[in-house]
Chains A and B, each alone.
Chain A
């Protein structure tokens, strides 16, 4: 195939990891669906094109060939289309709906938050990424899965190892080994949970899949649990830490939330618009199709750049600013179509109903540590990498 020099030709993985937003702004402007050699995909960067393609899952398939996610996790529902996907999704859905999230999970999230804060409240300083956001997300996820006997540290290790494996395009042997070890750990934990929950259903994800009207097999449960561990830990962790950073940079907006608690949810939606925790996910075309002015061949691999959609100047005014009072609020950071984030309501509750209000209430005069700057990284997954803060103990 011959082609003209494109807007994506000069993009490097290094610059995407450091700060992808300038490259995305240029792509939106010059070539909204562009072949990017560095990532070996077409990147789709406009909000309207992503909304349109998620309405046509029969053409823009989630079942990607050569998927590293399949290699590391098995064939999860996130890489299936149509009825095969819907069967597994339906089986897992009940415990993640808004009502059980509010009535059953939120009081448990609150206990997780208070226990963690009890451990450091007197210190007057902490890295809230390491000391709070990570363990908070891990402990909550263990409960939601139905893992009664898995330590938060193990879950965090498994999550990182599985995520690194699904992104191991460099084919690094040590990364495969670590992901395999994590996968084996998850398999064992699932087996124990299945034995426990077989006799006694509980409101957890594994229990729901096991006791669904059309029950999932143990292999299906294992694959999906690996996907939930990949997607249910780092994303609430990153949105929690990134949004908290934004609120600490904008004390007037934090105060507005404290004065009117209904605004915490607005702050959450604004956070994931501003920096989408899942910045990019894959799709693959099933036939030749035109999208955003580019003709895509059949079986073209696409990167759907949610991070860019959140900064699309055609939808959001001053898109690079964090502003929970903005008028347009239609972000698409939970994805769209049949694969819309299963954990969206749990994440909203964990972060905006529990974590942020509790931290601001319990840590008096909470502020960024002026001596320790916040670092950022990532483009497939992005957020702050640390969050050093101080308060008046």
Chain B
């Protein structure tokens, strides 16, 4: 299964084995990755699984639905063009080696 790197603000990295077809959030929770909270359990309701995705992988992600777009306006750390909710990213082979940055705050 593909590895995805979760990079923390101190530069340390969690390398996560992300099962194909699962969400990036659930892989992070199982690991577990500090700073990925996912309070609502993957329903795009809480915006606490926010990540910043490496721009080079942007076109390999599923398109953003309206719900996710609206929820990202409520993140605790500022939204950028790289912002996604990791619960809405279904893992594919193309994501192998992708790096995502974990924001400072989720709540």
CB contacts between A and B, total, < 8 Å: 56
Residue of B at shortest CB range from A339?
B40
In Å, the complex CA distance between A332 and B39 comes to: 8
Q: A329-B105, A331-B107 are in contact. Are A340 and B43 (CB under 8 A)?
A: yes
B41 within 8 Å of A (CB atoms) = yes
Residue of A at shortest CB range from B34?
A330
The A80-108 residues at the B interface (CB cut-off 8 A) are: 86, 93, 97-102
The B7-62 residues at the A interface (CB cut-off 8 A) are: 29, 37, 39-41, 43, 45-47
In Å, the complex CA distance between A307 and B73 comes to: 28
In Å, the complex CA distance between A100 and B69 comes to: 12
| A97 pairs with B41, CB closer than 8 A | no
Q: A269-B107, A329-B105, A331-B107 are in contact. Are A338 and B43 (CB under 8 A)?
A: yes
In Å, the complex CA distance between A93 and B71 comes to: 11
B93 within 8 Å of A (CB atoms) = no
| A334 pairs with B39, CB closer than 8 A | yes
Residue of A at shortest CB range from B46?
A340
- 1/0 per residue, CB under 8 A from A, across B72-107: the answer is 111010000000000000000000000000000111
A361 within 8 Å of B (CB atoms) = no
| B45 pairs with A99, CB closer than 8 A | no
| B40 pairs with A338, CB closer than 8 A | yes
| B70 pairs with A99, CB closer than 8 A | yes
In Å, the complex CA distance between A332 and B72 comes to: 19
A344 within 8 Å of B (CB atoms) = yes
| A330 pairs with B40, CB closer than 8 A | no
Max chain B C-beta neighbours (<10 A), residue from A97, A102, A348: A97
Size of interface on B: residues with Cβ below 8 Å to A = 20
> Which residues of chain A have C-beta atoms less than 8 A from B37's C-beta?
330
> Which residues of chain A have C-beta atoms less than 8 A from B73's C-beta?
97-99, 102
Please classify the interface of chain A as helix (H, G, I), strand (E, B), loop, or mixed, using the class held by over half of its residues. helix
A282 within 8 Å of B (CB atoms) = no
Q: A97-B70, A265-B76, A340-B45 are in contact. Are A329 and B40 (CB under 8 A)?
A: no
In Å, the complex CA distance between A269 and B48 comes to: 13
A55 within 8 Å of B (CB atoms) = yes
A337 within 8 Å of B (CB atoms) = yes
Q: A99-B73, A265-B76, A330-B107 are in contact. Are A93 and B39 (CB under 8 A)?
A: no
| B74 pairs with A97, CB closer than 8 A | yes
> Which residues of chain B have C-beta atoms less than 8 A from A338's C-beta?
40-41, 43
A336 within 8 Å of B (CB atoms) = yes
In Å, the complex CA distance between A189 and B76 comes to: 36
In Å, the complex CA distance between A93 and B46 comes to: 12
Please list the residues of chain B having a beta carbon within 8 angstroms of any beta carbon in chain A: 29, 37, 39-41, 43, 45-47, 67, 69-74, 76, 105-107
Please list the residues of chain A having a beta carbon within 8 angstroms of any beta carbon in chain B: 54-55, 57, 86, 93, 97-102, 265, 269, 329-332, 334-338, 340, 342, 344-345, 348
